[in-house]
């Protein structure tokens, strides 16, 4: 169903299509354990049965309606302390690739939102060597043509309600064409990362950051607080001004409420 894109230089030139699999990230890990795949190798499936998200959550997706794939990169130029820069580059690449279809926002740290609802997610798993990144597996799931999200849509809190490109635009999309666009977008920002354009990528990331510089309610240490997201630091922690004090949070330390 999927074939290698024509417009990229490295990402997707080696494309592995699996009609069904448990997890494209798990398949990509298996390739790394068995061999030394070309940088930019993409594993894509039409049906993922056990997708993973952040914090041990699952990523559920209807077969043949969405994009679920993983990219193997070798960002050996990044130190372990700089690994969030890869997150920035990947999310900005996706947002820019899809901007002609929909206005996407990046919900820190790894979710893609449109009109206040979740349209996609990213899971990056890094393999380190001597305090540098040796390999990175970037798992990406994007809701494209799915419109029925079943029980999850009924039980999900307001900040996690699902949506898709089709649900928002009333158009049906060619998954191959969309994958090509996204891989090209990620490749462009990855090359920017390679050439140390950190500040440009961070600026673009903040331009699309969900709830950026808006007053909202968060849950911190079991308590509800109001604050403004002011940015991210070099380690990827979220900076939030709460009661005139700037505080920094890792992924598990703050919850978006409303």
Show the tokens assigned to 149: 């999200």
> Does CATH place domain 215-256 in 2.30.30?
yes
CB 93 within 8 A of CB 187: yes
pLDDT at 18: 96
Q: Given a cut of 50, is residue 55 above it in pLDDT?
A: no
pLDDT at 59: 52
Starting at the edge strand found earlier in the chain, the sheet holding 111-114 runs 15-18, 42-45, 67-73, 132-142, 117-129, 111-114, 105-107
Domain ranges in the chain are: 15-207, 215-256
pLDDT at 156: 83
Q: Which residues make Cβ contacts (< 8 Å) with residue 100, sequence separation at least 6?
A: none
Q: What is the CATH number of domain 15-207?
A: 3.30.930.10
Q: What is the pLDDT of residues 101-123, one digit of tens each?
A: 999 999 999 999 999 999 999 99
Helix 198-207 to helix 84-98 angle, to the nearest 10 degrees?
Answer: 60
Segment 20-24 shows an average pLDDT of: 94
Q: Which residues pair with 231 in a beta bridge?
A: 239
Q: What is the pLDDT of residues 188-235, one digit of tens each?
A: 999 999 999 999 999 999 999 999 999 999 999 999 999 999 999 989
pTM of the model: 0.93
pLDDT at 153: 76
Show the tokens assigned to 60: 């559920």
Q: Which residues make Cβ contacts (< 8 Å) with residue 33, sequence separation at least 6?
A: none
Write phi, then psi, for 187 (nearest 5 degrees). -60, -40
> 78-100: string of b/e by CB count within 10 Å (b at 16+)?
beeebbbbbbbbbbbbbbbbbee
Cis bond before residue 129 (omega within 30° of 0):
no
Fold match flag (15-207 vs 215-256): no
């Amino acid at each position: 169903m999927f074939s290698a894109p024509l417009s990229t230089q490295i990402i997707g030139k080696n494309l592995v299509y699996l009609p069904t699999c448990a997890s494209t990230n798990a398949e990509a890990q298996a390739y790394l354990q068995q061999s030394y795949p070309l940088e930019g190798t993409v594993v894509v499936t039409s049906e993922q049965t056990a997708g993973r998200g952040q914090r041990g959550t699952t990523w559920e997706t209807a077969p043949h309606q969405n994009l679920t794939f993983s990219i193997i990169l070798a960002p050996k130029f990044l130190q372990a302390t700089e690994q969030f820069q890869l997150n920035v580059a990947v999310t900005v690449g996706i947002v820019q690739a899809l901007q002609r279809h929909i206005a996407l926002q990046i919900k820190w740290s790894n979710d893609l939102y449109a009109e206040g609802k979740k349209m996609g997610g990213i899971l990056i798993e890094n393999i380190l060597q001597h305090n540098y990144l040796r390999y990175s597996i970037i798992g990406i799931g994007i809701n494209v043509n799915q419109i029925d999200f079943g029980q999850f849509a009924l039980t999900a809190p307001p900040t996690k309600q699902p949506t898709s490109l089709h649900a928002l635009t009333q158009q049906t999309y060619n998954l191959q064409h969309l994958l090509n666009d996204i891989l090209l977008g990620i490749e462009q920002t990855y090359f920017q990362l390679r050439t140390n354009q950190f500040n440009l990528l961070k600026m673009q990331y903040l331009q699309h950051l969900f709830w950026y510089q808006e007053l909202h309610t968060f849950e911190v240490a079991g308590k509800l607080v109001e604050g403004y997201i002011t940015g991210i630091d070099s380690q990827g922690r979220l900076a939030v001004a709460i009661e005139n004090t700037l505080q920094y949070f890792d992924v598990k330390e703050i919850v978006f409420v409303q």
